[in-house]
Amino acid sequence: MAVNFFLWSMILTIVFIAKDFSRFGALVSRLRREKHVELIPVVTGASGLTHLQGKSTDLVIVDEELEDMTGLEFINQLVKVNPLVNTALVGALSEEEFHEKTEGLGVLLQLPRQPAEHDAETLLSVLDKISGLLQSSTVQARL
């Protein structure tokens, strides 16, 4: 997959929050193959909130269950400290339930409980499209 990372300023920073990363080998492996991706693992929701407060981050991937809270509880708290960050939630909610529970929280998509490489490709593609839209609106605003 050709991802247009030149659209991002320099490095795509992804914070990945999970209590057990063993289920995410394929996803992590695929993301690490991108030269311009910095992947930061975090184990608890509380440490994730501390790490993300006031920092520029391109994406936060959140497992459905963390050591100290659920992924949805984390995202609800995250929007209060960093409302513009993009998120992806790992879980198995139905499409309708996912939409209902994440509406207004800026969650880009739901990843399966054991994401594969193609899920990483989908995630990178969504981020690339968002970046392209942001770049396009920035250029138009300058004109």
Q: In this structure, what CATH number is given to the domain that contains residue 125?
A: 3.40.50.2300
CA dihedral defined by 100, 132, 56, 11, rounded to 10 degrees? 130
Percent of the chain with pLDDT over 70: 85
Q: pTM value?
A: 0.86
Structure tokens given for 80: 């209060």
Contact between 106 and 85 under an 8 Å Cβ cutoff? The reply is yes
The answer to whether residue 44 sits within a structural domain is yes
Instruction: Answer with the residue of higher pLDDT: 137 or 124.
Output: 124
Residue 58 has pLDDT above 50, yes or no: yes
The two structure tokens encoding residue 84:
């513009």
Average pLDDT over residues 106-125: 96
Closest listed residue to residue 59, CA positions, set 128, 4, 1: 128
Is 3 part of a structural domain of the chain? no
Element (H, E) at 46: helix 45-52
Tell me phi and psi for residue 92, to 5 degrees: -135, 35
Indicate whether 2 belongs to any domain.
no
Q: Can you tell me whether residue 38 is helix, strand or coil?
A: strand
pLDDT of residue 131: 74
For the chain, the domain total comes to 1
Does 74 fall in a domain?
Answer: yes
Q: Which residues is 70 bridged to in the sheet?
A: 65
Indicate whether 57 pLDDT > 50. yes
d(CA 75, CA 72): 5
Residue 141 pLDDT exceeds 50: no
In a domain, 61, yes or no: yes
Residue 1 inside a domain? The answer is no
> How large is the average pLDDT for residues 105-115?
95
- More confidently predicted of 84 and 132: 84
Q: Is residue 3 predicted with pLDDT exceeding 80? A: no
Does the residue 60 lie in any domain?
yes
User: What integer is the mean pLDDT of 104-114?
Assistant: 95
The two tokens of residue 70 are 């659920």
pLDDT of residue 55: 85
Domain that includes residue 112, residue range: 8-142
Tokens of 79: 């929007």
